[in-house]
A and B are shown apart, each in its own frame.
Chain A
Amino acid sequence: GNSVTQMEGPVTLSEEAFLTINCTYTATGYPSLFWYVQYPGEGLQLLLKATKADDKGSNKGFEATYRKETTSFHLEKGSVQVSDSAVYFCALSGFNQGGKLIFGQGTELSVKP
């Protein structure tokens, strides 16, 4: 079945450091891929998405490229801020799955001043 695997956290960085959170997936066909962010005590917010191979999703300085050859969708940001501290979830929606999302376990990011 479909699944998503994320790098384990927590990840602790200093402000302005480069961020990479790895995400790989297993799926049949051509899933859509997503990154969501969750701030403490809140729901999830869609950060970015990509719907086909080689697409790059981007938002608020974050980027991720849909790599079908490596079944990956790694999240990157060139210079993190303290306000980026949150939990990040990688997710996929399989083809013909009616929008149902399968999530990775989440990666907690803590950015120190």
Chain B
Amino acid sequence: DGGITQSPKYLFRKEGQNVTLSCEQNLNHDAMYWYRQDPGQGLRLIYYSQIVNDFQKGDIAEGYSVSREKKESFPLTVTSAQKNPTAFYLCASSTRGGAFFGQGTRLTVV
């Protein structure tokens, strides 16, 4: 089945560590996105990519980095510079008909 796969579902990070969240899609979509969701809030855009080897900062890019080496993959690295990384992270890909989301990764700093 076509879709978006995020892994892992749960991730624990020690302070000062970098962690990478995986996002893979087999929908053949050009555009991919990373959003952050905090409790009781909407989604905020971290980074997006509309084509391979190109990406742009969203509204809250500080402390995050991404790469887009393949059309299918858009990994997000949460660096130690992100001071409040505990959140639910959602990856999406889109066509003109709308965006399709993965199941999310819940990151907790311990």
Q: Are B104 and A105 in contact (CB under 8 A)?
A: no
Please tell me which stretch of B12-20, B39-47, B65-73, B75-83 contacts chain A, meaning at least 4 of its Cβ atoms lie within 8 angstroms of it. B39-47
Size of the chain A interface, CB-CB below 8 angstroms: 20
Select A43's contact among B45, B94, B98, B102, beta carbons within 8 Å.
B102
Set of chain A residues within 8 Å of B6, measured between Cβ atoms: 43
Size of the chain B interface, CB-CB below 8 angstroms: 25
Q: Are B104 and A43 in contact (CB under 8 A)?
A: yes
Q: Are A89 and B104 in contact (CB under 8 A)?
A: no
Total number of residue pairs linking A and B with CB closer than 8 Å: 59
Select A105's contact among B41, B92, B99, beta carbons within 8 Å.
B41
Question: Is A101 interfacial (CB 8 A cutoff)?
Answer: yes
Q: Are A99 and B31 in contact (CB under 8 A)?
A: yes
User: Which residue in chain B gives the minimum CB-CB distance to A98?
Assistant: B50
Query: Which residues of chain A (64-113) have a CB below 8 Å from chain B?
Result: 89, 93, 98-101, 103-106
Set of chain A residues within 8 Å of B106, measured between Cβ atoms: 41
Q: Are B94 and A106 in contact (CB under 8 A)?
A: no
